[in-house]
Each structure stands twice: as structure tokens, then as C-alpha cells.
Amino acid sequence: MRELEYNFTYREKDKGFQVILSYKDSKGRWKQKSKQGFKTKKLAKIAGDKLLDEVKEKTASEIIDEALEGITFKQLADLFMKENEPLLEYETILVYQSALKQAQALWDLPVTEISHMNLAKLINEMSVAASSKKTYFSKIKRIFNYAVSPCKIILTNPCAGVTIPKDKRQKKIKTLSNQEFLNLLDYARKESYETYIKLALAGYAGLRYSEILGLTWNDINFKTMELTVSKQYGRTGKGQYKMKSTKSMNGYRTIPIPVELTKILLQYKKSVPLQINSRLFADVSNNSTAVNSIISGGGYTITIHGLRHTYASRLVANGVDVKTVAALIGDTVETVIKTYVHYTDEMRSKAKEDIIKIFA
């Protein structure tokens, strides 16, 4: 790493001593700082040392590591992944890998030569949806942040200010009305009792599929009619699955469960043998294909995750505030507003009734 080059000059001036600090900045330009008015040269030297400390502190972030100056983006990404993989969830690692595939145009370019224009062009040429562009670009930006600090290869992140094009397509997340949900449960119960229980948990409690598979009987309090989400069952490697912590701090939550779901779970507990690990379901993976196949077999164009959307939308339609909905489903308020809350037929019908009452 390039060391700070500097020297001091002392001279008598205006019946006192002056200290001049000359130093080279990160771009190799000589600069000066000075102080004067000291009675002795010794005091001037002490002031010079303080000046040097200030300069070192100020320029520390501007010093480029010469050993890494010619590194390519692919080499940088490999360094980043090697250092961070042990700290990342397996699913997050897969996202980084996908992002790097989309960034192949940058692989052989020296990091110091990659510009804002290179990145803007990369975004425009990505053959994925706008939402995926946003996700992938956030990972690429994180790698360039790593180049700034701690690697000190570049001074600023070239990703700054790059605009991600918005998806102009109108997205409509599918939900079910209450009657459609009840009809789906009736159909699923005839096809697969276990699938019926999973759908009930998704629609009556808003759980993610990985959270459903992570449930143990200790998580369900039948007396207080509450369910605690503290873990999930997910992928930890290729073909490897196990219990993990929730996706975020928001994911850890205790939620009230309706009487109907309480009855369904009590009946299920009585009818199935208790597993040693106390899990409700013995699935060895978190693949929901089989469950979704049963749903589509009944003529429903929705997935089990869509029942989570249904749960959130029904809460809002019945007057539950957005902050409470976010807490119940384990997401942020922003995510609830953007993703889970939609103006459904049920909400439209209730709005019509409310307007008639208000203006009667």
C-alpha cells in the first residue's frame, strides 16, 4: 500500500517560527499545510506533528492499494465471495452467482477502469425483469463497495447514480375471496390431508412455506390461540436442507390464530404420530411444487404463497392497519404496501358498503 510521502520545513517568520508540511495526495500531487507564530522551533515541531496526524487521518481513505490496482472485476468478485460466503445464506449466495453471470461484460475489465457508463450499459442490456435487475445490481454495487473499503482499490463506487429502469407492467398478485379459500380447503382435504393443513396455515396465518415447514408443536399454544414463528426449514447447500433462523428480525413473531385454524390443528395433532423432532411436517425439502400441483388440479390459478397475499389483503380489507399487518406477516410496512396490499374485489365491495353508509 502506498505510504504517505511528506517532509517538514521550519523557518523564522514575524519574530517567531513557522512549520510547513509538504505531502503527496493519493493522485501524486504535492500539497502544503502550514502554521506559524511559535516562540520556539520545538513548539513548531510539536505543531507539525499534529498537522501530520490530521493529514494522515484525512487521506487514509484516499490511499490506493497498489498491490490490487490491476485487479479485474471477476478477480474482485472471487475475493469478495471467498471472504463473505461463510456469512451468507445459501439462497443469497445463489443470487450473487446469478448477478455475476449477468455481469460477464465486466469480468475482464480492471476495476479501476469500470465507469458509470459501463454499469448503465450493463443494466440496460440485462435480459431479466426490472425487479431482477434491481436485485442483481444491488449485489454488484455491494462488490464495488468492497473495492472501496476495505480493499482500497478505488476511491468511489461507480454504481452511484446508476438508474434502474422501472417495470411499467402492471403487476397483479392473485388472491382468493373468503369463499374461494374455503372451497379450496374443502377440495384439498379430499386430495391430501397434509396439503390441506399447509394451506390452512398459509391462508389463516399468512405464513411463508418455509415457515410452515419449520413449525413444531411447541410453537403452537392452543390455550392462548397463538402461533410463534421463530425458524424456517430451508436450503443450506446443494440438496441440503435444515432448520434455520427466520429471514429477518421482522420474521420472528407471535401471531393470533382464528378459532377455525385452532380446530384444524388440534384435529391434525390427534390424527398424526408425533415426530421425534416435534415437527408438524416431515418434508425433507422446501419445494412447494407438489402442494401447488394439488391447488392447480382444483382449477385454482394461485400458489400457496398466494394465500399469504390473500391473508394480508383480507386483514387490510377488514380495517387492520398496515403496521399491524406488517407485524403479523413478518415484513416491513413498505413491503406490505408495495407487495401484499391490493385493492381486491372484497375490498371494493366493503368500500362500496362503507360509502353507502357514510353518504346515506
Average pLDDT of the segment spanning 66-73: 79
Average pLDDT of the segment spanning 131-157: 91
Residues near 21 by Cβ (< 8 Å), separated by ≥ 6?
A: 6, 7, 8, 32, 33, 34, 48, 51, 52, 55
Assess whether the previous peptide bond of 165 is cis (omega < 30° from 0). no
Q: How confident is the model at residue 254 (pLDDT cuts 50, 70, 90)?
A: very high
Q: Does position 1 have pLDDT exceeding 70, yes or no? A: no
DSSP state of 173: -
User: In whole angstroms, what is the distance from residue 166 CA to residue 159 CA?
Assistant: 17
Q: How confident is the model at residue 360 (pLDDT cuts 50, 70, 90)?
A: low
* Cβ atoms within 10 Å of 185's Cβ, excluding its own: 19
Average pLDDT of the segment spanning 54-76: 75
User: In whole angstroms, what is the distance from residue 76 CA to residue 109 CA?
Assistant: 11
Give pLDDT, residue 89.
86
User: In whole angstroms, what is the distance from residue 216 CA to residue 231 CA?
Assistant: 10
Give pLDDT, residue 271.
94
User: Considering the chain, what is the average pLDDT of its residues?
Assistant: 88
Residue type, 202: A
Q: How confident is the model at residue 345 (pLDDT cuts 50, 70, 90)?
A: low
Q: Does position 203 have pLDDT exceeding 90, yes or no? A: yes
Query: Which of 19-28, 259-268, 339-348 ranks highest by mean pLDDT?
Result: 259-268
Give pLDDT, residue 246.
82
User: In whole angstroms, what is the distance from residue 36 CA to residue 20 CA?
Assistant: 9
Tell the burial category of 220 from Cβ atoms under 10 Å away from its Cβ (0-12, 13-18, 19+).
Answer: buried
Give pLDDT, residue 73.
96
First to last CA, the chain: 77
Reported as a single tens digit per residue, the pLDDT across 158-175 is: 999 898 887 665 566 788
Average pLDDT of the segment spanning 15-41: 85
Q: How confident is the model at residue 147 (pLDDT cuts 50, 70, 90)?
A: very high
C-alpha dist (Å) from residue 187 to 180, 200, 349 = 11, 12, 26
User: In whole angstroms, what is the distance from residue 166 CA to residue 197 CA?
Assistant: 38
Buried b (16+ CB within 10 A) or exposed e, 292-309: bebbeeeebebbbbbbbb
Give pLDDT, residue 258.
94
Average pLDDT of the segment spanning 36-49: 91
User: In whole angstroms, what is the distance from residue 313 CA to residue 273 CA?
Assistant: 35
Give pLDDT, residue 355.
64
Q: Which residue has the higher pLDDT, 42 or 165?
A: 42
Average pLDDT of the segment spanning 53-73: 73
Reported as a single tens digit per residue, the pLDDT across 94-137 is: 999 999 999 999 999 999 999 999 999 999 999 888 889 999 99
The three grid cell numbers given for residue 186, joined into one nine-digit string: 374443502
The length of the chain in residues reads 360
Give pLDDT, residue 62.
59
For the chain, what percent of residues have pLDDT higher than 90?
58
Q: How confident is the model at residue 311 (pLDDT cuts 50, 70, 90)?
A: very high
DSSP state of 239: T
Give pLDDT, residue 247.
67
Give pLDDT, residue 137.
95
**pTM score > 0.85 for this model?**
no
